[in-house]
């Protein structure tokens, strides 16, 4: 598919989908439009979870000189030979600054550079206070209690690769070099187009998708710009997808086969509609295309479909743009199916499940159950398009929902 020109999807309104792209075709499209963002400089304190634009090389040796690795007396190890409880050896205490005099010791704390002449640090429990200083009641070997210059990190070695989100400990290590700012992959700006409430119709619930998608985009490394348009504003979708500034546009709703499902047409008119209709359930009315260089993903308006389509396609695109791993950000656990699941051949079905003590209990793989079925679930399984389902006892991967979510910052 990569090299052949796209078939132009036809208008499905009041007709239904004659054909749908496969999940793999849709994912290939997402990855093709995933150009990683450029770099920006951010304050180190705000860089947790971000991805470095370049590998970070150590600007110095750690430790920068031979230092004490614990508190105690810095001294010459050779002068402690023979010391013991029955043969305490007296050491004069001297200032830290000048070179060590013979049979003298200087108080040092963990992390301080050894005074010149010292080659070991005796811990306090190896000494007793004496009249002039300390009496050693045990010997120490050369290098004991000492971190040698460059022992932890040598200058110029790679400290942190660009393949992971910065951890708290990374921030600590970077900070220890006196570095205040780092260059990281810029967060993609995601424009989220939401239709205003269909207030004229009875029984519609308030907007679930806006707050949900905002949280998901932030989780995956993006920032969000929400644009709402009235249901009757003709041309609003076309206008918003064409307006510059966003790195990715998500249109939520109006992707189905109803008479007012104009999102695919608006994208085709303002840019290119590459795919509409994907053989996945929920989420089958998803569409994809471009306006100029900017990818546009059309997400179904039903919250359950919207969530799954976001995770499979939009979230992947955002993770790619952010420099993160493209895979689903859910922990995979293995489980054993408790009862039979039936699935349609030709369609990948996502089935919400409970995972209780290793047992996978399906909550429904059709579109029923709504967003509440996700909220009740521990996770979901993906049933390949080639299968008619699973028999009880089958072992499978469950994508579990218990990941911590990022909180919006900045």
Q: Choose one: 205-213, 286-294, 336-344, 382-390; the region binding a second copy (CB under 8 A).
A: 205-213
Binding mask 25-64 for a second copy (x = CB under 8 A): -------------------xxx-xx------------xxx
Interface with a second copy includes 123 (CB under 8 A)?
yes
User: Which is nearer to a second copy, 8 or 179 (by Cβ)?
Assistant: 179
Residue selected from 8, 28, 342, 372 as contacting a second copy according to rule CB under 8 A: 372
Contact status: 375 vs a second copy (CB under 8 A): yes
In this chain, which stretch among 121-129, 262-270, 272-280, 342-350 interacts with a second copy, using CB under 8 A?
121-129
Q: Is 173 in the site for a second copy (CB under 8 A)?
A: yes
* Nearest distance, CB of residue 360 and a second copy, angstroms: 19
Tell me the CA distances in angstroms from 18 to 15, 215, 233, one per residue in order: 8, 34, 29
> How many Cα atoms within 13 Å fall on the side-chain side of residue 289?
27
Q: Determine, following the binding rule CB under 8 A, whether residue 243 of this chain makes contact with a second copy.
A: no
User: 296 with 241: CB under 8 angstroms?
Assistant: yes
Binding mask 129-158 for a second copy (x = CB under 8 A): x-----------------x---xxx-----
Of 54 and 384, which has the nearer Cβ to a second copy? 54
Nearest to 38 by CA among 244, 183, 250: 183
**Rounded CA separation 324/52 (Å):** 10
Question: Between residue 331 and residue 350, which ones bind a second copy under the rule CB under 8 A?
Answer: 331
In the numeric block, which tokens belong to residue 289?
């295309």
CA–CA distance, 254 with 298 (Å, rounded to integer): 8
Query: Rounded CA gap, 92 and 118, in Å?
Result: 14
Alpha helices in 21-166 (DSSP H): 23-32
Peptide linkage before 282 cis (omega within 30 of 0): yes
Choose, by CB under 8 A, the member of 205, 244, 293, 386 that binds a second copy: 205
Choose the binding region for a second copy from 20-28, 195-203, 268-276, 343-351 (rule: CB under 8 A).
Answer: 195-203
**By the rule CB under 8 A, 260 interacts with a second copy:** yes
In 3D, which of 144, 75, 78 has the Cα closest to residue 116? 75
Q: Which sign, positive or negative, has the C-alpha torsion 227, 228, 232, 233?
A: negative
Nearest CB to a second copy, comparing residues 89 and 106: 106
Task: For the CB of residue 331, give the shortest distance to a second copy in the complex, in Å.
Answer: 6
Window 268-307: residues binding a second copy (CB under 8 A)? 301-303, 307
- Of the candidate residues 98, 111, 235, 384, the single one contacting a second copy (CB under 8 A): 111
Q: How many residues bind a second copy (CB under 8 A)?
A: 98
Distance, CA of 19 to CA of 203 (rounded, Å): 32
Min dist CB 82 to a second copy, Å, is: 22
Spatial contact of 214 and 220, defined as CB atoms under 8 Å apart: no
Residue with tokens 């054993």: 336
Query: Which is nearer to a second copy, 2 or 202 (by Cβ)?
Result: 202
C-beta of 24 vs 110, nearer to a second copy:
110
Residue 256 as a binder of a second copy (CB under 8 A): the answer is yes
Give yes or no for a contact between 284 and 305, defined as CB atoms under 8 angstroms apart: yes
Q: Distance between CA atoms of 332 and 397, rounded to whole angstroms?
A: 6
The answer to whether residues 12 and 262 touch, using CB atoms and an 8 Å cutoff, is no
């Amino acid at each position: 598919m990569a090299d052949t020109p796209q078939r132009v999807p036809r208008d499905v309104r009041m007709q239904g989908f004659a054909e749908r792209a496969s999940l793999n075709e849709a994912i290939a499209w997402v990855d093709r439009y995933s150009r990683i963002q450029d770099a920006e400089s951010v304050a180190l304190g705000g860089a947790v979870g971000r991805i470095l634009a370049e590998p970070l090389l150590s600007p110095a040796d750690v430790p920068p000189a031979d230092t004490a690795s614990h508190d105690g007396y810095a001294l010459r190890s050779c002068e402690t030979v023979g010391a013991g409880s029955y043969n305490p050896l007296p050491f004069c205490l001297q200032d830290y600054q000048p070179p060590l005099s013979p049979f003298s010791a200087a108080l040092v704390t963990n992390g301080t550079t050894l005074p010149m002449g010292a080659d070991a640090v005796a811990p306090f429990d190896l000494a007793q206070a004496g009249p002039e200083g300390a009496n050693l009641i045990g010997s120490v070997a050369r290098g004991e209690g000492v971190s040698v210059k460059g022992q932890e990190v040598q200058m110029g070695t790679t400290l942190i690769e660009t393949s992971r989100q910065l951890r708290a400990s990374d921030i600590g290590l970077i900070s220890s070099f006196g570095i205040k700012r780092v260059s990281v992959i810029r967060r993609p700006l995601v424009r989220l187009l939401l239709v205003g409430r269909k207030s004229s119709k009875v029984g519609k619930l308030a907007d679930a998708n806006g707050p949900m998608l905002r949280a998901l985009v932030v989780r995956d490394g993006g920032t969000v710009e929400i644009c709402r348009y009235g249901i009757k504003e003709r041309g609003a979708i076309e206008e918003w997808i064409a307006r510059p500034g966003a790195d990715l546009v998500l249109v939520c709703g109006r992707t189905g086969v109803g008479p007012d499902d104009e999102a695919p047409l608006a994208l085709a008119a303002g840019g290119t509609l590459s795919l509409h209709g994907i053989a996945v359930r929920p989420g089958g009315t998803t569409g994809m295309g471009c306006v100029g260089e900017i990818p546009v993903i059309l997400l179904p308006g039903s919250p359950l479909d919207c969530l799954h389509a976001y995770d499979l396609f939009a979230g992947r695109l955002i993770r790619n743009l952010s420099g993160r791993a493209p895979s689903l950000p859910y922990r995979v656990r293995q489980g054993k199916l408790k009862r039979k699941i039936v699935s349609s051949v030709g369609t990948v079905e996502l089935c919400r499940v409970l995972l209780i003590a290793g047992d996978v209990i399906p909550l429904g793989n059709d579109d029923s159950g709504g967003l509440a079925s996700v909220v009740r679930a521990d996770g979901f399984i993906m049933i390949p398009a080639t299968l008619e389902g699973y028999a009880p006892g089958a072992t499978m991967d469950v994508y579990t929902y218990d990941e911590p979510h990022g909180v919006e910052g900045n």
